[in-house]
Each structure stands twice: as structure tokens, then as C-alpha cells.
């Protein structure tokens, strides 16, 4: 199956009246040339001074365009030598949780069913992750997340119980959970750690997630969150059937300017 591909070959010059700023246009032009194979991995790009002359822009503008490509791992710059096209690196691949975020950003699709909230003595895991002594009080929450009324995620979470900290109450978000994914997060959490791994779903999860009887694999997304004093606030994990969550990404050079979706501001 060999078909001749039409190559539009864009004009490759800066349009000063365009909506896109000059540095972004130049970055797209160069990225396109790399993607079309005009510059192959290992090749040196024209020097920045040369690019200034070719595209009639100032050094700073060329600079910014090259910086963008460097940030996107398309090229590598070496002082005194030049700018070189980087080879494909599988290890540079980054999987986003965007699907989750998109899901939660539509409040009509997702409903959170609270299964259980109670005070428990912290077990081994919770004590270690939350910096408690085994037996200290913790709040235990079990939730079921329904997507279009179908069970999708099973969530278990332990929250530090400390009357001196209003954090916990505010952070519980018992009914929504949405803030965490789509932002807002009311600003009491400073950061956290996330881990994804494959697990064998246990009986409880299988029952809740409407899986068949037999053994089934699932993804486990574990999380620990910290407040602004670097004290752990919550530890827990989401379980889902493997067909409900899949992480995917692209590597390599693409034509569009959307090499990485997270570039709000220029460089």
C-alpha cells in the first residue's frame, strides 16, 4: 500500500499580519522542516544569525523560536557548536491524565456515590504515608465514581484527622472530587505524588465495577497530597477496569504547533 502523498509545502516565511506571533510562526516553520525530513536527526540547523537574515526577524525572536523547539525536545542546542535535531527518544514520552480531566470537567457525565465515611484507626499503610502512628485516628472514605451512570472508578482514601486543621474538612469534597481534577482545588493543597500501576482487581472492586466473575486486571492510581506546610493530608487510590482508563501519547515530530498541549505562553 504505497500512495503518493501530497505535500502542501507551506510558504515558510513570516506573515507579520497573521494572528500568530512571529516567534511561533518561525517555530512551526522549523518544526515542519524537521518533520518533513529536510533536517534529519543529527543535522545542524542554520545558525541563529542566518535564520535572522533568512526570515527577517531579530535575534531575540529567532532565540525564542529555537527555545520552543528545545523545550519540545525537537532540537538540542550546544554552545559554540550550533543547534541540532534530536533523535527520537522513547524515554521522553510523557503520558497525560488529560482524559481524566476532560471527564471530570463535564459535571453532567460524572456522579460520585459516597459508599462509606467513618473514623478508623490508621493501619500500616496509612500511618506510614500520612506520618501518623499506627492507631491514630484517620478519616476513611470509599467512593464510587459513575460515568454516565456506569461505575467507572472505585476510590479509597484516608484523610488525616486533626481538629486543629480545617484543611481536611474543606478538602474532603465529599460529593464532588471534581476540584482535584479540573483545578480550583481551593488552594489548600500544595502538591502531591501520583503513581500508576497494574493490579489484579479484588472481589470488592470487581463487584463494584461490574466486572465479570473471573480475574481481571485494572489500573491503580495512587495519590498522596501535601498541604503548604509539607504535611501529608490524604492518601488513597483509584481503581478502574483496564478498559476504562488508558494512557496514550505520541512521540516524535509533528507538523502542527501542538507538540505539547501545555504551551500557554510563548516560550
**Residues at the site binding DNA, with contacts judged by CB under 7 A:** 21-24, 45, 47-50, 56-61, 63-64, 66, 77-83, 265-266
What is the closest distance, in whole angstroms, from the C-beta atom of residue 67 to a second copy in the complex? Answer: 5
The closest of 209, 207, 230 to 219, measured between CA atoms, is 209
Nearer to a second copy, 88 or 119 (CB): 88
Give helix 59-71 / helix 22-35 axis angle, nearest 10°. 50
Q: Which of 46, 52, 54, 93 binds a second copy (CB under 8 A)?
A: 93
Interatomic CA distance for residues 82 and 45, integer angstroms:
7
Residue 240: strand pairing partners: 153, 219
Q: Given the rule CB under 8 A, which of 24-32, 44-52, 111-119, 217-225 is the region that contacts a second copy? A: 217-225
Interatomic CA distance for residues 20 and 17, integer angstroms:
8
Considering only residues 135 through 164, tell me which ones interact with a second copy, judged by CB under 8 A: none
Q: Greatest CA span in the chain, whole angstroms?
A: 71
Interatomic CA distance for residues 153 and 244, integer angstroms:
8
* CB count in 10 Å sphere of residue 207: 13
Half-sphere exposure of 209 (CA within 13 A, CB side): 28
Nearer to a second copy, 142 or 231 (CB): 231
What is the closest distance, in whole angstroms, from the C-beta atom of residue 77 to DNA in the complex? Answer: 4
Interatomic CA distance for residues 119 and 81, integer angstroms:
63
Nearer to DNA, 55 or 153 (CB): 55
Interatomic CA distance for residues 240 and 254, integer angstroms:
32
For residue 191, the partner it binds in DNA, a second copy, none, with Cβ less than 5 to 8 A by kind, is a second copy
What is the closest distance, in whole angstroms, from the C-beta atom of residue 184 to DNA in the complex? Answer: 18
49 part of the interface to a second copy, by CB under 8 A: no
For residue 27, the partner it binds in a second copy, DNA, none, with Cβ less than 5 to 8 A by kind, is none
Nearer to a second copy, 147 or 196 (CB): 196
Q: Which of 56, 175, 195, 258 binds a second copy (CB under 8 A)?
A: 195
44 part of the interface to a second copy, by CB under 8 A: no
For residue 22, the partner it binds in a second copy, DNA, none, with Cβ less than 5 to 8 A by kind, is DNA
Residue 138: strand pairing partners: 120, 160
Amino acid at each position: 500500500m504505497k500512495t503518493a502523498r501530497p505535500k502542501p509545502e507551506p510558504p515558510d516565511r513570516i506573515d507579520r499580519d497573521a494572528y500568530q506571533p512571529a516567534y511561533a510562526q518561525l517555530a512551526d516553520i522549523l518544526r515542519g522542516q524537521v518533520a518533513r525530513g529536510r533536517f534529519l536527526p543529527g543535522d545542524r540547523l542554520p545558525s541563529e544569525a542566518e535564520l535572522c537574515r533568512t526570515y527577517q526577524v531579530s535575534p531575540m525572536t529567532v532565540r525564542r523560536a529555537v527555545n520552543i523547539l528545545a523545550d519540545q525536545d525537537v532540537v538540542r542546542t550546544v554552545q559554540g557548536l550550533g543547534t541540532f535535531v534530536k533523535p527520537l527518544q522513547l524515554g521522553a514520552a510523557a503520558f497525560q491524565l488529560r482524559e481524566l480531566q476532560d471527564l471530570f470537567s463535564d459535571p453532567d457525565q460524572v456522579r460520585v456515590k459516597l459508599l462509606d465515611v467513618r473514623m478508623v484507626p490508621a493501619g500500616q499503610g496509612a500511618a506510614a504515608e500520612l506520618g501518623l502512628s499506627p492507631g491514630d485516628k484517620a478519616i476513611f472514605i470509599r467512593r464510587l465514581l459513575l460515568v454516565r451512570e456506569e461505575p467507572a472508578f472505585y476510590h479509597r482514601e484516608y484523610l488525616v484527622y486533626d481538629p486543629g486543621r480545617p484543611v481536611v474538612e474543606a478538602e474532603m469534597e465529599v460529593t464532588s472530587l471534581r476540584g482535584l481534577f479540573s483545578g480550583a482545588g481551593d488552594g489548600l493543597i500544595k502538591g502531591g505524588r501520583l503513581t500508576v500501576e497494574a493490579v489484579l482487581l479484588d472481589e470488592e472492586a470487581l463487584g463494584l465495577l461490574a466486572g465479570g466473575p473471573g480475574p481481571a486486571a485494572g489500573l491503580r492510581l495512587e495519590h498522596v497530597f501535601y498541604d503548604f506546610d509539607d504535611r501529608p493530608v490524604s492518601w488513597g487510590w483509584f481503581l478502574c477496569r483496564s478498559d476504562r482508563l488508558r494512557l496514550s501519547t505520541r512521540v516524535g515530530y509533528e507538523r502542527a504547533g501542538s507538540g505539547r498541549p501545555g504551551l500557554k505562553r510563548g516560550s
